[in-house]
Amino acid sequence: MARVKRGVTSHARHKKVLRLARGYRGRSKSNFRVAIERVEKALQYAYRDRRVRKRSFRALWIQRINAAAREHGLTYSQLMHGLALAEIAIDRKMLADLAAREPAAFKAVVERAQAARGEAR
C-alpha cells in the first residue's frame, strides 16, 4: 500500500483560513496559528451579530415610530394599541418607513388608530 502524504490537504486548509484572514493586522493575516484563532473568533461574532442586528433594527424602528407618533400627540404604545384595536396589521419596519418617507400616509394611519382608541373608551 502506498504511503499517504498529507501536504496537499494541509496546504489547502491553511490557504482557506488565510484567505478568510485577509485584511487582518499583523501576524493575524499571515501566520496560520494566529490566523485560525482570529478567523474562528470572527465567525463566532458573525453568527452572534446576525441575531443582534435584528434586535438593533427593531429598536431603531420603534424609536422612529415613537418620534413620529409624538408629533401627532400619541406615544408609541398608544399608537400600537390603537392599531391593534383598528385591526391594522402593519409591521414596525413599514411603519418606520412610512413615518420617514410618507408623512401624510403615516398621519392617516395615526388618525385611524386615534379613532379606534376613541371608540374603545
- Per-residue pLDDT tens over the stretch 92-121: 999 999 999 999 999 999 999 999 998 766
Mean local confidence (pLDDT), 19-29: 97
DSSP 26: G
Q: Which cell is 7 given?
A: 501536504
Domain ranges of the chain: 8-120
User: Can you tell me whether residue 91 is helix, strand or coil?
Assistant: coil
Say how far apart CA 99 and CA 76 lie, in whole Å: 12
The pLDDT value given to residue 118? 86
CATH superfamily of domain region 8-120: Ribosomal protein L20, C-terminal domain (1.10.1900.20)
Cα 107–70–113 angle (5° rounding)? 45
Condensed to tens digits (0 to 9), the pLDDT of residues 28-74 reads: 999 999 999 999 999 999 999 999 999 999 999 999 999 999 999 99
Q: Cβ–Cβ contacts within 10 Å for residue 39, how many?
A: 20
Task: Look up the pTM and report it.
Answer: 0.81
